[in-house]
């Protein structure tokens, strides 16, 4: 599939997965890839439901070699290595309290929003009712999606929601369904209806699941996928296995004498303890490769979704060089990707 087709499948990609598996990293790589192909992409980052502090936001900027904490204002991130004319990457944070202010402004209640803000009650109002923060955030997302669908000036082609970790994401995406049952009328019900309509329409919104090739994250991904489909009615796009070790062909009979001899023939000196450590490292890497392969196979067997893979980057902090590598991996994976379930 060509990249443009992948991004044309839907308008909002909701990226979710267990904590720390690479949701933000993948969101950055998707945005960079979209921009590489001339599309403009908005990454929307949200905090866990109920949290009033901004989400962890520096990682995304650092991937693009920039500083900057995401907030309500959009931050323009410079897309890397794109062909001309490259698209654009923008990013912003989304929180319940700011979404409430925007809602009140859009509905002619500026004075009320100012009073709430100055009295310090904004946060309380935005988070008091269970499900309310979620509907505020999802309502804002739906508004952005509508603007993109209408091709409004400045609206992005693609929206990537860097969503909360899996357990929260299920509750978050389920919440409008709950509110539909609870609210019989009024603006909350109307908002919930519109959000449910977006979530259940695959041409408007699809979920991208991220996992690492390890036992617990894979098991949780399978459970989350089922919950998202059954409870939130969301369409699943693909699963991305992040951080897979690049494959090395390491013979099982590798031993210290062979390594010392091979080093000697190349004019290098390798001590026997050094060679023993290399043999141990090779055995560890082989075991890791075997276990990752087994988890990827299990994932395919238990979750009938197309897969993509991102390699593990040997770097303490991910920056532009790693983002370029991950974007390349995504691009080459998409060449043989098809929306057909495995
Ligand atoms: N492919 C990779 N290779 C190496 N390190 C990676 C890779 N992907 C992510 N990381 C590292 O793993 C850590 C977690 O990544 P990231 O912040 O993208 O995960 P997350 O799912 O967004 O986490 P959270 O749940 O906290 O939001 C980061 O330190 C990141 O640099
Ligand atoms: Mg994150």
Q: Give the model confidence (pLDDT) of 171-212 as tens digits.
A: 888 887 777 777 677 777 888 888 889 999 999 999 999 999
Whether the upstream peptide bond of residue 170 has omega within 30° of 0, thus cis, is: no
- In this prediction, residue 71 carries a pLDDT of 74
pLDDT, tens only, 223-270 = 999 999 988 889 999 999 999 999 999 888 889 998 999 999 999 999
Higher pLDDT, 82 or 118: 118
Decide if 174 is inside a domain.
yes
The H-or-E segment that residue 332 falls in is: helix 320-335
pLDDT, residue 54, reads 53
At 47 the pLDDT is: 64
CB 59 near ligand 1, within 6 Å? yes
Q: Is residue 196 part of a domain?
A: yes
Instruction: Answer yes or no: is the C-beta of 18 below 6 A from any ligand 1 atom.
Output: no
Ligand 1 pocket member 313 (CB < 6 A): yes
Q: What is the pLDDT of residues 90-106, one digit of tens each?
A: 999 887 777 777 777 77
pLDDT of residue 293: 97
Q: What is the mean pLDDT of residues 153-157?
A: 93
- pLDDT on residue 202: 95
- Give the CATH number for residue 198: 3.40.50.300
User: Is 242 near ligand 1, meaning CB less than 6 Å away?
Assistant: yes
pLDDT of 335 > 70? The answer is yes
User: Which residues 6+ apart lie within 8 Å of 199 measured at CB?
Assistant: 138, 173, 176, 205, 232, 233, 234
Question: Pick the residue with more confidence: 54 or 271?
Answer: 271
Q: Among 254, 333, 258, 252, which residue's Cα sits nearest to residue 289?
A: 252
| Residue 38: domain span | 3-249+304-335
Share of the chain above pLDDT 70, in %: 90
How far is the centre of ligand 2, averaged over its atoms, from the C-alpha of 20 (Å)? 7
| pLDDT on residue 42 | 96
- How many A from CA of 137 to the centre of ligand 1? 24
pLDDT tens-digit readout, 93-139: 887 777 777 777 777 777 776 776 677 666 666 666 667 778 888 88
Ligand 2 centroid–CA 26 distance in Å is 9
* Ligand 1 neighbour 22 (Cβ under 6 A): yes
Task: Tell me if 213 CB under 6 Å of ligand 1.
Answer: no
Task: Provide the number of structural domains found in the chain.
Answer: 1
Specify if 154 maps to a domain: yes
**Position 282 in a domain:** no
Residue 297 lies in a domain: no
pLDDT of the residue at 280 = 93
Question: Is it the case that residue 11 has pLDDT exceeding 90?
Answer: yes
Cβ(142) – ligand 1 distance below 6 Å:
no
- Residue 64 located in a structural domain: yes
**Is residue 298 included in any domain, yes or no?**
no
The CA 141 to ligand 2 mean position distance, Å, reads 18
Nearest CA to ligand 1 atom 5: 313
The verdict on the CB of residue 21 being under 6 Å from ligand 1 is yes
The pTM (predicted TM-score) of the whole model is: 0.90
Is the beta carbon of 23 within 6 A of some atom in ligand 1?
yes
239 in any annotated domain: yes
185 burial level (CB within 10 Å; 0-12, 13-18, 19+): exposed
Give the tens place of pLDDT for each residue, 291-307: 999 999 999 999 999 99
Between 161 and 253, the higher pLDDT residue: 161
Which among 19, 25, 164 is the best mutation to test ligand 1's pocket, defined by most ligand atoms within 8 Å of the CB? 25
CA 155 – CA 159 distance, rounded (Å): 9
How much is the pLDDT for 299? 97
pLDDT, residue 169, reads: 80
Q: Within its chain, how far is the Cα of 201 from the centroid? A: 19
């Amino acid at each position: 599939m060509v990249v443009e087709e992948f991004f044309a499948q839907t308008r909002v990609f909701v990226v979710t997965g267990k904590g720390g598996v690479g949701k933000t990293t993948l969101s950055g790589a998707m945005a960079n890839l979209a921009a590489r192909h001339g599309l403009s992409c908005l990454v929307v980052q949200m905090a866990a439901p109920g949290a009033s502090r901004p989400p962890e936001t520096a990682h995304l900027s650092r991937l693009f070699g920039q500083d900057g904490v995401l907030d309500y204002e959009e931050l323009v991130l410079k897309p890397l290595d794109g062909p001309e004319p490259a698209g654009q990457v923008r990013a912003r944070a989304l929180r319940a309290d700011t979404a409430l202010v925007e809602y009140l402004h859009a509905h002619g209640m500026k004075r009320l929003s100012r009073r709430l803000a100055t009295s310090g009650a904004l946060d309380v109002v935005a988070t008091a009712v269970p499900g309310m923060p979620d509907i505020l955030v999802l309502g804002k997302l739906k508004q952005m999606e509508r603007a993109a669908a209408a091709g409004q000036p400045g609206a992005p082609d693609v929206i990537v929601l860097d969503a909360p970790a899996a357990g929260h994401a299920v509750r978050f995406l389920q919440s409008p369904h709950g509110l539909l049952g609870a609210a019989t009328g009024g603006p909350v019900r109307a908002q919930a209806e519109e959000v449910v309509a977006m979530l259940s329409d695959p041409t408007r919104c699809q979920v991208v699941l991220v996992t690492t090739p390890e036992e617990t994250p894979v098991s949780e991904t399978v459970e989350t996928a089922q919950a998202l489909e059954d409870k939130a009615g969301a369409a699943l796009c693909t699963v991305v296995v992040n951080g897979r070790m690049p494959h090395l062909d390491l013979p099982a009979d590798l031993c210290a004498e062979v390594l010392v001899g091979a080093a000697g023939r190349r004019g290098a000196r390798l001590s026997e303890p050094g060679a023993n450590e290399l043999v141990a490292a090779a055995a560890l890497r082989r075991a890791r490769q075997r276990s990752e392969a087994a988890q990827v196979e299990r994932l395919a067997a238990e979750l009938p979704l197309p897969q993509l893979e991102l390699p593990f980057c040997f770097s303490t902090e991910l920056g532009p060089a790693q983002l370029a590598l991950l974007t390349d991996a995504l691009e080459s994976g998409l060449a043989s990707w098809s929306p057909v379930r495995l």
